[in-house]
């Protein structure tokens, strides 16, 4: 990571231009760099260096986005221009969206998200990012009855079947969370699971939130096993078990995750191509 300002000077303080963690050399089948306009900016709100863009970074770059990463715990989030980025990606973290007194930057993130929501400006949220979006939409966020950890599938709803989340059908993704939220008003539930009803939701084509982890690569998963593997026996799991499941689930999850984000970004391009109604 290198310190640098956004070349247009639009994103604000606390930003760094960076390549995310990831080992993907092949762009999504539906995207090449030349197929999309250059000069777009994706603001990445990161909460933990171990929870990066991973699998999602190359997809954004292949769609013409420059990645501007803000480490929210160490940045002045309130100083960011909420509407300057073309898309905001909010990543996961250990914090709870309800812990704004302990982590004041979360309140600033929620305020930023509310400003973008009011403008219908694109947002993609992952895990904590989905929970922060729920909070920004005035839905309760709280601790769940138990943690959901492992390589687990989600049930795609009828609404999800016609959304980018349709690519999640039949795929087991990494889940690693203990918080959840009520479904906000004015959104559609796109996926659920036996443990947690709200696994993905959307508002229009511009806001998409997922509770599962589409960003996870083998390297990120291995980092998580090293960092948090000690807690796995509490859930009847072992590091060896999750590592073995990664061999079969990981490649399929990475492909599906790239497809989810690629379709979301392509829908944004279609939305931008439609002139506003005056």
pLDDT along the chain (278 residues), means of 10: 33 41 30 51 95 96 96 96 97 96 98 98 98 98 93 97 98 94 98 95 98 95 94 94 96 97 96 70
pLDDT of 39 reads 79
Largest CA distance in the chain: 59
The H-or-E segment that residue 253 falls in is helix 239-273
pLDDT of 13 reads 39
Per-residue DSSP letters for 186-212? T-EEEEE-SS-S-SEEEETTTEEEESS
d(CA 268, CA 70): 22
Query: Mind listing the domains of the chain with CATH numbers?
Result: 2-273 (3.40.50.880)
User: Which has the closest alpha carbon to 269: 201, 200, 205?
Assistant: 205
Strand 65-71 and strand 123-126: the pairing is unpaired
At 255, phi and psi to the nearest 5?
-65, -45
SS3 229: helix
pLDDT of 31 reads 32
pLDDT of 278 reads 56
| Cβ atoms 117, 136 nearer than 8 A | yes
Paired tokens of 206: 């511009």
pLDDT of 84 reads 95
């Amino acid at each position: 990571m290198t310190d640098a300002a956004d070349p247009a000077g639009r994103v604000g303080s606390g930003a760094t231009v960076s390549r995310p963690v990831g080992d993907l050399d092949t762009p999504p089948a539906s995207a090449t760099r030349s197929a999309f306009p250059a000069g777009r900016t994706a603001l990445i709100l990161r909460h933990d260096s171990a929870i990066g863009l991973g699998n999602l970074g190359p997809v954004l770059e292949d769609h013409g986005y420059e990645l501007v990463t803000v480490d929210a715990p160490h940045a002045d989030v309130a100083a960011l221009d909420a509407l300057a980025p073309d898309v905001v990606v909010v990543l996961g973290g250990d914090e709870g969206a309800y812990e704004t007194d302990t982590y004041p930057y979360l309140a600033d993130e929620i305020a930023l998200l509310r400003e973008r929501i009011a403008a219908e400006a694109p947002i993609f949220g992952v895990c904590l990012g989905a929970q922060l979006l729920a909070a920004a939409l005035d839905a309760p966020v709280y601790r769940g009855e138990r943690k959901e950890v492992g390589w687990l599938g989600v049930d795609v709803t009828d609404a999800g079947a016609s959304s980018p989340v349709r690519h999640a059908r039949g795929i087991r993704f990494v889940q690693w969370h203990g918080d959840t939220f009520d479904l906000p008003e004015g959104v559609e539930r796109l996926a659920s699971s036996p443990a947690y009803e709200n696994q993905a939701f959307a508002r229009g084509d511009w806001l998409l939130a997922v509770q599962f982890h589409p960003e996870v690569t083998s390297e990120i998963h291995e980092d998580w096993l090293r960092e948090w593997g000690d807690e796995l026996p509490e859930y009847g799991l072992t590091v060896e078990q999750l590592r073995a499941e990664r061999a079969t689930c990981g490649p399929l999850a990475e492909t599906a995750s790239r497809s989810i984000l690629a379709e979301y970004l392509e829908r944004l391009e279609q939305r931008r191509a439609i002139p506003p109604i005056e």
